[in-house]
Structure 1
């Protein structure tokens, strides 16, 4: 049986990704869709948009709902609206500046768009506020999508009424990452200049 070898390989990969240095780069992400519930019979639903461009303030929102999530299903599930407080496309740390705001959370690896948020519960049975992180991956669209999956999402809630909620999986909708407008203009200037 090769299960122990698979577990060892998976563990080593997780350790490598968790200790790899990543730095946030400018960019935009938006999308939404459904993914499997965290252990429940239903689906989790999310929409999101986040932007970090040209030294402007980070902006965006996350809406999330998982009514059948284990540990919360008897209280109406996990449900919140959030404002984005940090965001960026995680890239390899070539020359880290030391600015903590540019460091990616260890839950998001290279190629994932990190979205840190502060939320307000929309579940009247579990009121309150808290923080969390989403990691989003754009795998393309249609026939160009890897494994015919348009995107992947990971969401972890750190504090508040949904503290310790975590879910990761393929998103049935779409994840789109984009460059900032000035980055596109810089590339056009280089090509024409």
Structure 2
């Protein structure tokens, strides 16, 4: 089979798009609550506060506890406090590998708020530190929320450290709120 220049271009473009992620936009996320444990019989507790606004330093915290998570339940479960190292609302546009700090994880789609974090275990039986990512969706509030859901943790995934391979997600019985950044510019002096 001979590849025409058009087919070669289409293959290269689709490959580049597959490697690219959504672009991260400025915004804030706050919230938390409980969600189902990773295969356990209990509940996981999740809280987040993250902000990426107007070229200011990214800031925020993540707290997480899943005492009955399968593979960790005999050692006290997954439990950590984390500092946010990256954050942003995943937009419709694409970012390239050259703009990695502005690129959402491929597991986080448009409309989700992504938070990357460095964590320290709060479980004395499993000390250590690592990195992780969480993707969340604001499902609105009150009568506007579908099926009574106020927030969704699409994904929380731990890349390394004592809780490496932990991955969970689900509806939060609490709330996740994403917002645009408050403007730091004075429009009256323009």
Considering the TM-score relative to the shorter chain, is it more than 0.5? yes
* 2-structure distance, mates of 1:95, 1:135: 17
Partner residue of 1:13? Answer: none
1:92: how far off?
A: 1.1
The answer as to 2:182 corresponding to 1:181 is: yes
- Runs of at least 5 residues in structure 2 that lack an aligned partner in the other structure: 1-17
Partner of 1:99: helix, strand, or coil? helix
- Residue deviations 1:44-102, cap 9 Å, x none? 00111000000011000000000000000000000000000000000011576942100
CA RMSD of aligned residues (A): 2.3
- Residue deviations 1:1-52, cap 9 Å, x none? xxxxxxxxxxxxxxxxx76730000000000100000000000001110000
Is 2:95–2:102's contact at 8 Å kept on the other side of the alignment? Answer: no
* 2-structure distance, mates of 1:176, 1:121: 26
Structure 1 stretches (4+) deviating beyond 3 angstroms? 18-21, 94-98
Partner residue of 1:163? Answer: 164
Partner of 2:80: helix, strand, or coil? strand
- Runs of at least 5 residues in structure 1 that lack an aligned partner in the other structure: 1-17
Partner residue of 1:117? Answer: 117
Partner residue of 2:25? Answer: 25
Is 1:21–1:92's contact at 8 Å kept on the other side of the alignment? Answer: no
TM-score by length of 1: 0.83
1:148: how far off?
A: 1.3
1:159: how far off?
A: 0.4
- Residue deviations 1:144-164, cap 9 Å, x none? 112210010020000000000
Partner of 2:170: helix, strand, or coil? strand
Aligned length: 172
Partner of 1:93: helix, strand, or coil? strand
Is 1:34–1:44's contact at 8 Å kept on the other side of the alignment? Answer: yes
* 2-structure distance, mates of 1:94, 1:161: 33
Is 1:156–1:167's contact at 8 Å kept on the other side of the alignment? Answer: yes
Partner residue of 1:74? Answer: 74
Partner residue of 1:5? Answer: none
Structure 1 range deviating more: 174-183 or 54-63: 174-183
Partner of 2:74: helix, strand, or coil? helix
Partner residue of 2:11? Answer: none
